[in-house]
Structure 1
Amino acid sequence: MLLYNVTSIIEDAAADRWLQWMQELHIPAVMSTGKFVSHRLLKVVDSPNEGVTYCAQYVVDNMADYLDYQENHAPAFQAEAVAKFENQAVSFRTLMEYVI
């Protein structure tokens, strides 16, 4: 199993709107691709960055599903996020493998 983590730093002024969009639209849309088996959204409480930092985490069973998501779904989702929160949020992505 793999964990796909998207860490986003959002300007304070856009944080509430971003969180609502994530909960109501973005995460449900990502999950509707059928590639992930679960998800969670975490708020970083000790971030050294200005603004608000969140981590959206998605669990995927295998590399094939992750790669399919990256090729066929991720570009549109990422473009939508950039368009909605241009100059108000920055994100970086990490893929991790479960060890224990």
Structure 2
Amino acid sequence: MLLYNVTLILEDAVAEEWLQWMQEVHIPEVMATGMFVSHRLLKVLDSPNEGVTYCAQYVAETLESYNQYQEVYAPALQQNLNDKFNNRFVAYRTLMEFVG
């Protein structure tokens, strides 16, 4: 099992709009790809960064599912994010493996 984590640091001015868009549009679109079996959205409370920090996490059962998501679906979904919140956020993406 793999955890795909997307950490986003948002400008305060767009944080509420982004959160609503994530919950109503983006996360449902990501999950509709069928590449992930679950997800969660977290707010970082002790971030050293300015702005508001969130982590969107998606669980993939196999590396193949994750790779297919990255190749087939991620470019368009990430472009939608960039189009809607252009230059109002910074994103860091990491892939982790469950070990325990």
Residue 15 of structure 1 aligns with which residue? 15
CA distance in 1, matches of 2:86, 2:37: 29
| 1:1-100 → structure 2 map (5 Å cutoff) | 1-100=1-100
CA distance in 2, matches of 1:51, 1:20: 17
Using the size of structure 2 for normalisation, the TM-score is 0.99
Shift >6 Å, 4+ stretches: none
Residues paired across the two proteins, number:
100
Which runs of 5 or more structure 2 residues have no equivalent in the other structure?
Answer: none
CA distance in 2, matches of 1:45, 1:96: 21
Which runs of 5 or more structure 1 residues have no equivalent in the other structure?
Answer: none
Using the size of structure 1 for normalisation, the TM-score is 0.99
RMSD: 0.4
